[in-house]
Amino acid sequence: MIEIKKILVPVDFSEVAPLVAKWAKDFAKKLEAKIYLIYILEDLTGLESIYIDQQILINLEKELLEGAKKSMEEFVKSNFSDFEDLEIIIKSGDVVEKIIETATEKEVDLIVMGTHGRKGLDRILFGSVAEGVVKNSPIPVVTLNPYRGLKEKLL
């Protein structure tokens, strides 16, 4: 049987992220697995074609990364205070690519992620991150739909 000792959990700080985190944490506890909690800041290089000073983009990315670090600290404090085997990762770039790249680098055994973070126009414009990871990952992926019963079970 395959051992699951390393789990990558991408988070987006949406309202459903705590539900996915709780499920992943409970699962990791049962398996005695380490969790790699990752947040990917969407790549801003697509904005380079707009007439914006390059320094503004550089400063914006720095500000966004600082904000992500603070959000991650709060997220960990709220959702992982009772879990010790945790590594936090914050990167910027293409979200799907960076999730898969990190999972491969860290040699994780499983990726656990929610199927619904963004909604509406954001989902149409940016696509589904979960769908991209499932389609392209060489590592098994467990997806959780927090709107289909998971919410009630975890609360």
> How high is the pLDDT of residue 42?
85
> How high is the pLDDT of residue 14?
86
pLDDT in tens, 58-83: 788 899 999 999 999 999 999 999 99
Sign (positive or negative) of CA dihedral 80, 153, 38, 13: negative
pLDDT in tens, 93-138: 999 999 999 999 999 999 999 886 555 544 544 458 888 999 999 9
pLDDT in tens, 7-60: 999 999 988 899 999 999 999 999 999 999 999 998 776 666 666 777 777 788
Residue range of the domain that includes 53: 6-154
What's the total number of domains in the chain?
Answer: 1
Q: Say which CATH number the domain at 51 has.
A: 3.40.50.620
> How high is the pLDDT of residue 59?
86
Alpha-helix runs per DSSP H in 7-128: 17-31, 54-79, 95-105, 120-126
> How high is the pLDDT of residue 126?
46
Contact call for residues 141 and 111 (beta carbons, < 8 A): yes
pLDDT confidence bin for 84, thresholds 50/70/90: very high
Within a domain: 30: yes
Within a domain: 1: no
Cross-strand bridge partners of residue 29: none
